[in-house]
Structure 1
Amino acid sequence: MAVEEVFYKLYNNILIETNLQNTNYDAVVLIAYPEDLNVQLPRHIGSFLEKAAKVDKHITKAVTVWNCDYVSGGRLVISPTGKVTPYHDVSVVKQAAQKGVLRALEAGAKSPLVVVQSVVHFPDAQLVAVLGVLEALYTPLQMRERVAPKNFTKIGFHAEETLDEKFERIVRNAIALERARIITRDIGGSDPERMAPGKIVEYINNSFSGENNITVKVVDDENVIAEQYPLLAAVNRAATRVDRHKARVVEIEYKPSDLSRVIETLILVGKGVTYDTGGADIKIQGKMAGMARDKCGAAAVAGFLKACSILKPPHLKVIGVLCLCRNSVGSDSYVADELLVSSSGKTVRVTNTDAEGRLAMADALFKMSETAGKELNPHIYTIATLTGHARACYGNYVAAMDNHSARATNHSNKLQLSGSRVSEGVEVSVVRHEDLAINEGKCKGDDLVQYDTGAKARNHQLAAGFLIKVGGLEEKNLKYTHLDIAGAAGEAPSEPSAVPVLSLCHLHKVFM
């Protein structure tokens, strides 16, 4: 059984409940919206809220717990969104759902019932609320492997007093998406030994075992990697002496049962640096802590494929590539000034071994650009915790960058809209001519520099420019989007955010 399967299953430990007084639950969690949103309250609770507000006006600002005879368990948890302005998005719903269910558990509840109402202002509020609750209940993999999760017995979701097929579909979609995000968090958040390259391969094989619409191919022979993925091999050179740290390239492919219905092929390449010491340009001043999260791009690719395997979108074919390596430091480290030859034949001068992510993905991206030419309506993504500059520019939002072909379809703007619907923030960043030109070689014999150390600005855009050039995408009429999730992937002590799995699923209609 795959490790994530111990989690949520509809009608087992996740239920849809129409009766707020059902004695099978020991608390009810209500997301409280501002009056101006005109969200209809469940029967009896409206009058109770009016009385509670007279006792404590703070109920519109903080989570509170009340003794209430009108609800299951006699315990009502009121979790307010707070004031919702035109600058807020559906994240206020997610946060209220998370705070509410966590407060219920802190109060001693084991089987809370969460009221999930439709909100005209936020079309996907119910989905986001359910996902918020499930995310709050996530237990990290390494904790689950020691002790079975015991933070809850079951969770109920209440939308209205009658069963509704639409709401059941929302809950089913949320469970599928959360199972996908569990894979993303497990890979991205586990420590660098639990999720060393070889361990990630084991986890992937277990997670997709028995899926008849998924095939997994693993390249682990270091001679093959050196020949076909030479830039990845250079990054991993100091780690190859330790078997569990050796590089792996994992290809996961999803095909629907009827290929004649496919209208789009998605190709996703993910950065999977399981630990980044910085290599010979070693990280200092404590900046190495947290570098186990440098594999969140590859983790997101795996999560997206898992969502496809469960929800089975008939219109998509998907190829995911996980570029797994470890940027270790040692006597065999790759160093600045080395001239590497990529699989595309372009020479790349190493300038900073801590800019390893673009090298780790470069050869796989070139290979996929060649593959894409044979596929129907292809769109290529790279997903990576790539630059501190993206975090500096956009905080905890994804930086989305299109090449010329993707920009012609307004792609990143569409992704931004999808992100806003499912509580994943995306900022659109434009790749310009100078972002490509700055990567051109400076010395005779150099086609490209890994990174222009003299660059004072636009570091996340020039990284995208490097990938476009090294991937052979500069002149090809192939749609390509680079997603820098360095600020959005989540930093300890928070769990990984699993971005941009939901945004991609929403945009490409993996769930309906």
Structure 2
Amino acid sequence: MTGYQFMQLPDLQFHGEKQAGSVSGCDGVIVVFHDAEALATLNIPSSLDPSVKLLTEFVKSDESSKKKDVNVIINSNLPGGKMIVTPTGPLLRDHDDVRRYAEAVKRAISRAKSMETMKRPLLVLQPPPFDKMEESVRAEFALYYEVATLAALAEMHEPVEARETLPDLEQKALKGLQVVILGEDESVLATKLEFVKAIETGRRLARDIGSPDPERMSSINAAETVKTFMSTLSNVQVSVIESLETLKKEYPLFAAVTRAAEHVPRHAPRVVHLEYRSPDQSQVTEELYMVGKGINYDTGGANIKTGGNMTGMSRDKCGAAAMAGFVATCAMLKPKHINLSVDLAFARNSVGSNAYVADEIIRSRAGVRVRVGNTDAEGRMVMADLLAQMKERALASSDPSKARIFTCATLTGHCVYAYGPYVAAMENGPAKMLRLGERLKCNGQKIGDCLEVSTMRPEDYEVISPVTNCEDVLQIPMRSSGMIARGHQYPAAFLAIASGLNKHSLDVEPQKRLAYTHLDVAGAAEEKPGPYGRITATPIAALTMTFLKN
């Protein structure tokens, strides 16, 4: 692999109303609005008067502009002589949320990228109509400019493969973005700016790991990419396990998946461990333990994918990509109340004479006998042993009650059918008592990184209960998880059983309980339509809002 080059963020600035009058260096204006007439009545800095006046006149003369995705106004009185205007659309209906701003800004930035003369736009955002909103809805729109800025930065980012094969791509990219924020307390803008930068930095790393083809971002290259980026941070410890013998000994379920790829050196697996420790251990209130699925290509194994369903399987590593990105975000924000331990399971699910097959019984790290039912259910296999190790670390910590254990994976087609482009969160009993799923859901809603909470039921455990005395758990029922009822819930039950976490639920004494939440990002990992849509890097923003924001 040639040396990995991270795409740095553009020059990003936040300006309050008082600062907006001194804004300079812009070569175009972008205005996102929902009510042009109301925008004209706000306390607009005089430097923006021409933009607002032109927008108001334009909307009055062309009512259809309120519904058009993007409009471009050319006028010599404007900075750079041009302005892109785009409406948010409705904001007050039951199903509207803060992502209306994100969608509008993405359209505008996409248009700006196509205009070779606009490299440093000024973004003006009309605040939501808070006076017309219920209190709970106002709270969900409060971070509208952070959400809008994150959307702009995502649209300005270019995939790593494109950057490496199109040498002039970064030279053509937008170089800066100045955001005018109306009605916000200017004293908080610096902190919020760093918050946005930290999230987008993590997301950019996640996109660079999650997006590339299976050779460019093989398990070896993914591990090297993580190491290269983390070497720029002084507060993250990185270790990589390369030895096949060690992997087979420590992670037998993981090693089973990698068997068919062992004879191809460039397809060798890697386990990456990342560690962030609070600079003040006396302030730690939560200890996060996270495992990410990093299948850089999924053929389905012996249960090979057919009917064109192998296309896009180079992105089966987006769970691990997001976890790596979350570590980067955490390191930049330097929270004192959090410790973070992350394991990334990078492997290739190949097919061949040495592939693991259905009917095999493999003993997990936790000593649980797993009967394989479908080799295309490899994600739960590569994570289960690492999850068991996280369980061991949590139990060995000074206070296991602070432990919050997660798995994150593009795991099931059923999740896509059930929730479309949303993450599904499934909690065990201790996690549910802590309302971890609800915390993620509420905070994700505010930052535009939305998820749904699915409840674990008795059926999710019963469907994988042993059918003989030769196994302790079934890896999968006879049909694939995408084709049976509750197909995204029972894999979480499998992970709990195979890792031994089911022995640390509500039926044991409180000091032995461990909170565990599984995040299925199968439908949310890339923008639609797919395959090859932009990697979303979800749930980095939701996790950041929930655990890192003071």
TM-score range, shorter chain: over 0.9
Q: Is the 8 A contact 2:34 2:126 kept in 1?
A: no
Match of 1:51 in 2: 57
SS at match of 2:31: strand
Query: How much has 1:20 moved relative to structure 2?
Result: 6.6
Q: Which amino acid aligns with 1:42?
A: I
1:83 equivalenced with 2:84 (yes/no): no
**1:216 aligned counterpart, secondary structure:** strand
CA change 1:363–1:153 in 2 (3 A) is same
2:497, 2:339 → 1: CA distance? 26
Assess if the C-alpha contact under 8 Å between 1:197 and 1:246 holds in 2: yes
More helix by share: 2
Corresponding residue for residue 179 of structure 1 = 201
Q: Secondary structure of 2:501's match? A: coil
Separation in structure 2 between the aligned mates of residue 348 and residue 29 of structure 1, nearest angstrom: 56
- List aligned pairs for 1:12-411, cutoff 5 A: 13-16=11-14, 18-19=19-20, 24-34=25-35, 40=42, 42-43=44-45, 44=49, 45-62=51-68, 63-84=70-91, 85-108=93-116, 109-119=118-128, 120=130, 121=138, 122-146=141-165, 147=167, 148-149=169-170, 150-160=172-182, 164-375=186-397, 376=399, 377-411=402-436
Alignment coverage as a number of residue pairs: 508
Give per-residue Cα distances to partners, 1:77-128, cap 9 Å, x unaligned: 1111011222111110111111112212223312211114544431111111
Provide the residue aligned with 1:500 in structure 2: 539
SS of the residue corresponding to residue 396 of structure 2 reads: coil
- Write the deviation string for residues 272-324 of structure 1: whole angstroms up to 9, x where unpaired: 11100000000001000000110000001100000011110110000000011
Distance 1:357 1:370 in 2: 21
The 3-state SS of whatever aligns with 2:147 is: helix
Q: Contact 2:445–2:451 (CA<8 Å) still a contact in 1? A: yes
| Mean CA deviation greater in 140-149 or 198-207 | 140-149
| Backbone CA RMSD of aligned residues | 2.2
Q: Distance in 2 between matches of 1:33 and 1:70?
A: 23
1:2–1:240 distance in 2 versus 1, CA, 3 Å? closer
Gap regions ≥5 residues in structure 1 = none
Q: Distance in 1 between matches of 2:340 and 2:376?
A: 30
- After superposition, the Cα gap between the structure-2 partners of 1:246 and 1:86, relative to the gap in structure 1 and judged at 3 Å, is same
Partners of 1:498 and 1:418 in 2: CA distance: 16
Change (3 A) 1:166 1:489: same
Matched position secondary structure for 1:114: strand
User: Aligned to 1:452, what secondary structure does the other structure show?
Assistant: coil
Which of 470, 478, 482 aligns to 1:453? It is 478
Q: Percent identity?
A: 36
In the alignment, is the contact (CA less than 8 A) between 1:424 and 1:499 conserved in 2? Answer: yes
Moved more, 113-122 or 326-335: 113-122
Partner-residue secondary structure (3-state), 1:451? coil
Shift in Å at residue 163 of structure 1?
9.5
Residue 424 of structure 2 contacts residue 451 of structure 2 at CA under 8 Å; is this kept in 1?
yes
Residues 412-449 of structure 1: CA distance to partner in whole angstroms, max 9, x if unpaired? 11111111011112011001112112212212211111
For each residue in 1:32-78, what CA deviation from the matched residue of structure 2 results, as whole angstroms up to 9, or x when unmatched? 12479979373524433331112211221121011245531121111
In the alignment, which of 515, 524, 528 is matched to residue 479 of structure 1?
Answer: 515
Structure 1 CA distance for aligned equivalents of residues 450 and 22 of structure 2:
37
Alignment partners' CA distance in 2, 1:111 and 1:2:
29
The C-alpha deviation readout for 1:122-146, integer Å capped at 9, x for no partner, is: 1111111111110000100112223
Q: Offset at 1:21?
A: 8.4
CA distance in 2, matches of 1:442, 1:34: 63
Which consecutive residues of structure 2, in runs of 5 or more, have no partner in the other structure?
Answer: 131-137, 505-512
Q: Structure 1: which amino acid aligns with 2:155? A: A
Give the Å deviation of 1:478: 0.5
The change in CA–CA distance for 1:37 and 1:428 in structure 2 (over 3 A counts) is farther
Matches of residues 436-447 of structure 1 in structure 2 within 5 Å?
436-447=461-472
1:7 and 2:8 matched: yes
Q: Distance in 1 between matches of 2:3 and 2:460?
A: 43
Q: In the TM superposition, what is the alpha-carbon distance from 1:30 to its structure 2 partner? A: 0.7
Letter in 1 for 2:90: K
1:463 is the counterpart of 2:491: yes
- C-alpha separation between the residues in 2 aligned to 1:41 and 1:384? 46
C-alpha displacement at 1:488, in angstroms?
0.4
The answer for the alignment partner of 1:412 in structure 2 is 437
Range that drifts further, 388-397 or 439-448: 439-448
Q: In structure 1, what is the Cα distance between the partners aligned to 2:126 and 2:228?
A: 36
What SS is found at the alignment partner of 1:474?
helix
After alignment, is 166-175 or 266-275 more displaced? 166-175
1: distance between equivalents of 2:218 and 2:159? 16
Structure 2 Cα separation of the partners of residues 400 and 36 of structure 1: 42
State TM-score, norm by structure 2: 0.88
Task: Give 2:12's aligned amino acid.
Answer: I
Q: Does 1:489 align with 2:487?
A: no
1:31 is matched by which residue type in structure 2?
A: V
Letter paired with 1:107: M
Query: What CA distance in whole angstroms lies between the structure 2 residues aligned with 1:220 and 1:496?
Result: 27
Q: Distance in 2 between matches of 1:292 and 1:100?
A: 30
Correspondence for 2:134: none
Answer with 353-362 or 469-478: which moved more: 469-478
